[in-house]
Amino acid sequence: MKKIFISIFLLFMPICIGFLIGINSNISAYQVINKPFLSPPGIVFPIVWSILYILLGISSVIIYNSNNKYKNNALLVYFLGLFFNFIWSLIFFNLKGYLLAYIDLILIIIFTIRTILLFNKINKLSAYLLLPYFFWLIFAMYLNLGVYLLN
């Protein structure tokens, strides 16, 4: 029963983080800042992030339910990445700290790469599920840098 509860928690935790980001961040600020070329309309972000958070949750459940002795270490790195993901929005949207947000994004990417490598040693599918998140982070890095330079 405990394993089922933790699996459900892990599955929905990224989605809950996304919800907390949405209600605690001044996301409307995105509409009025100068944005770089290729910036998608604001409506794209909640759709993409919802899909990515679902993939993150599934990936973490796969790792948690494995019998690998390194799963706790892998999940710790994953959680650290999620923490930096959460604070990015607060830094970017609420504080308008575009450079600090960019530095935070670099940390998110570092933790994501490490997570992918650790997850890959435990279960390849769990690592593959993180690739769309990684590629979106690279695109977000471009957008964040562009916003920093243009504002």
In-domain check, residue 56? yes
Which residue range is the domain that position 72 belongs to?
A: 2-26+40-150
The distance of Cα 80 from the centroid of its chain, to the nearest Å, equals 10
Compute CA distances 60 → 49, 53, 150, whole Å: 16, 11, 36
Cα dihedral sign, 140-142-147-149: positive
In-domain check, residue 31? no
Indicate the DSSP class of residue 64: H
In-domain check, residue 35? no
The reported pLDDT for the residue numbered 26 is 76
In-domain check, residue 53? yes
pLDDT in tens, 101-151: 999 999 999 999 999 999 999 999 999 999 999 999 999 999 999 999 999
Domain count, the chain: 1
In-domain check, residue 34? no
pLDDT in tens, 23-77: 877 777 788 899 999 999 988 999 999 999 999 999 999 999 999 999 999 999 9
In-domain check, residue 135? yes
Please give the average per-residue pLDDT across 73-102, as a whole number. Answer: 96
pTM listed for this prediction:
0.93
In-domain check, residue 33? no
Length of the chain: 151
Token code pair at residue 104: 């935070």
The domain that holds 139 is classified in CATH as: 1.20.1260
